[in-house]
Amino acid sequence: MNFQDRDQNHLWHPYTQHKTAAAAIAIVRGKGALLWDENGKEYIDAIASWWVNPFGHSNTIIADAIYKQLTTLEHVLFGGFTHVPAILLAEKLLKMLPSNQNKVFFSDNGSTAVEVAIKVALQYFYNKNEKRTTIIAFENAFHGDTFAAMAASGISFYTQAFQGMFIDVVRIPVPVKGQEQESFAALENVIKNHKCAAFIFEPLVQGAAGMVMYGAESLDKLIEICKENNVITIADEVMTGFGKTGKNFACDYIQNQPDIFCLSKALTGGTIPMAITTFTQSIFDEFYSDDINKALFHGHTFTANPTGCAAALASLDLLATEEMQENIVRVNKKHLAFQKHIEHHSKVKTTRVLGVIFALEIKTESNESYYGNLRNKLYNFFIENGIILRPVGNIVYILTPYVITDNQLDKVYKTIENALAIA
Ligand SMILES: *Cc1c(COP(=O)(O)O)cnc(C)c1O
């Protein structure tokens, strides 16, 4: 029996209806932007394995850093103890983030990074004896699959079985072009009518919604409204962080500084699951007290795993290299050229590009659902052609490792163009 068949005996995959889904493809090896399955078939990983892998698969620089850490100190509990990689990583990361960020809290994945951010925002006001329990979030947001993160998420596909069991979240429209004033007004209205603790957002790009993009000035305005009303602002940079938008962080495009940052995905270069939530000093100070009950009673067993920290340190070094910064610019330029080439195609409704992110919306008769027929047809077409792309409804997006070669990228573009013919 091959691995593909053996998988079906015991494995339960994410976001998968096992009765109707095709068997999972067994990948046995990866290098750069390429993956190979058990039959030797080659795939271009055009979505960086769910947006985690900027520097290529099986990157030996990160692998060496991990090996060195594993054979020095693989793990130690983070309650009552600390270690060098965590300290170095916190120092390095805070130098990259906006100057108001000063405290670093570790967890394991994007959802927990968000969970920590929301719990801190709620407890911040609890500690102050101020009743504020509403979280503001965008329509069609995605912040993860744990309960608070799910509550903040607006894509019903992921949350509909759990409606009525959530913390209090009020949604506002995304300030996409032409809808800015509506979004500002909605935020002001929500703040006026609810006891709001925090506003959580994916800055500039809503990944899971299909790379929906909005302007930096609009985000600045929304944060300004929150600041005027002492509403905590949470930038969920789990997807956008570490170069995806062309800058280290999407929030590098704005003037106002959010109070909290959520980071994961590319943090360790796609090697070890790890997440970080960072905070301003003034948020931390509200937990700093002689009263034990004011402490943050949240933690995970593998908090600040030294091996993950070592991988993150190596990744941040790689990101800062001239070679990687040039790769980001190169991929962006190629996306812009492809956009120009494809935007007037009869099947194309809109296109958008930011940094290494490209998205194309296909014209359809009806509203295509998230995992609908068109989506499945496109997905299968890409897989047959050796390209890993996961369209969202009628939206096809590219978010490759930065190290993808020009030839590989051209093959991705060509295959998308061919796919339009069957759409
Ligand atoms: C993927 C994602 C998450 C959740 O991260 P996980 O590691 O899958 O838990 C949260 N927020 C955003 C913006 C994401 O893209």
344: Cβ–Cβ under 8 A, 6 or more apart, which residues? none
The closest residue, in CA terms, to atom 5 on ligand 1 is 110
The whole-angstrom separation of Cα 378 and Cα 371 is 11
Whole-number Å distance, alpha carbon 144 to ligand 1 midpoint, is 5
| Residue of 52, 200, 264, 277 to test ligand 1 pocket, by largest number of atoms within 8 Å of CB | 264
Whole-number Å distance, alpha carbon 1 to ligand 1 midpoint, is 34
Whole-number Å distance, alpha carbon 26 to ligand 1 midpoint, is 24
- Token pair, residue 262, equals 């959520």
Whole-number Å distance, alpha carbon 265 to ligand 1 midpoint, is 7
Whole-number Å distance, alpha carbon 72 to ligand 1 midpoint, is 31
Given the CA of residue 202, which atom of ligand 1 is nearest to it? 13
Whole-number Å distance, alpha carbon 110 to ligand 1 midpoint, is 4
Residue 54 in 3-state DSSP? coil
Given the CA of residue 141, which atom of ligand 1 is nearest to it? 13
The whole-angstrom separation of Cα 40 and Cα 292 is 57
- Token pair, residue 16, equals 């998968």
Model confidence pLDDT, tens digit, residues 100-130: 999 999 999 999 999 999 999 999 999 999 9
Beta-bridged to residue 134, according to DSSP, are: 196
* Residue ranges lining ligand 1, Cβ < 6 Å: 109-111, 114, 142-144, 202, 207-208, 236, 238-239, 264
Model confidence pLDDT, tens digit, residues 260-295: 999 999 999 999 999 999 999 999 999 999 999 999
Q: Helices marked H in 229-321 — which ranges?
A: 281-285, 306-320
- At 157 the pLDDT is 79
| Residue of 142, 272, 276 to test ligand 1 pocket, by largest number of atoms within 8 Å of CB | 142
Given the CA of residue 111, which atom of ligand 1 is nearest to it? 9
Torsion of CA 50, 266, 240, 16, to 10 degrees: 20
| Residue of 238, 240, 300 to test ligand 1 pocket, by largest number of atoms within 8 Å of CB | 238
The whole-angstrom separation of Cα 355 and Cα 225 is 27
Weakly modelled stretches of the chain, pLDDT under 50: none
The closest residue, in CA terms, to atom 15 on ligand 1 is 239
For residue 220, the tally of other CB atoms under 10 A from its CB is 15
The closest residue, in CA terms, to atom 10 on ligand 1 is 143
The closest residue, in CA terms, to atom 8 on ligand 1 is 110
CA nearest to 304, candidates 122, 157, 147, 90? 90
Whole-number Å distance, alpha carbon 151 to ligand 1 midpoint, is 13
- Say if residues 149 and 111 touch (Cβ distance below 8 Å): yes
Q: How many CA atoms lie within 13 A of 210 on its CB side?
A: 20
Whole-number Å distance, alpha carbon 61 to ligand 1 midpoint, is 25
Whole-number Å distance, alpha carbon 143 to ligand 1 midpoint, is 5
Whole-number Å distance, alpha carbon 241 to ligand 1 midpoint, is 11
| Residue of 114, 205, 357 to test ligand 1 pocket, by largest number of atoms within 8 Å of CB | 114
- Token pair, residue 151, equals 């509550």
Whole-number Å distance, alpha carbon 158 to ligand 1 midpoint, is 12
- Say if residues 339 and 358 touch (Cβ distance below 8 Å): yes
Given the CA of residue 145, which atom of ligand 1 is nearest to it? 9
- At 370 the pLDDT is 65
CA nearest to 221, candidates 258, 184, 174? 184
Model confidence pLDDT, tens digit, residues 363-383: 987 766 666 789 999 999 999
The whole-angstrom separation of Cα 167 and Cα 114 is 14
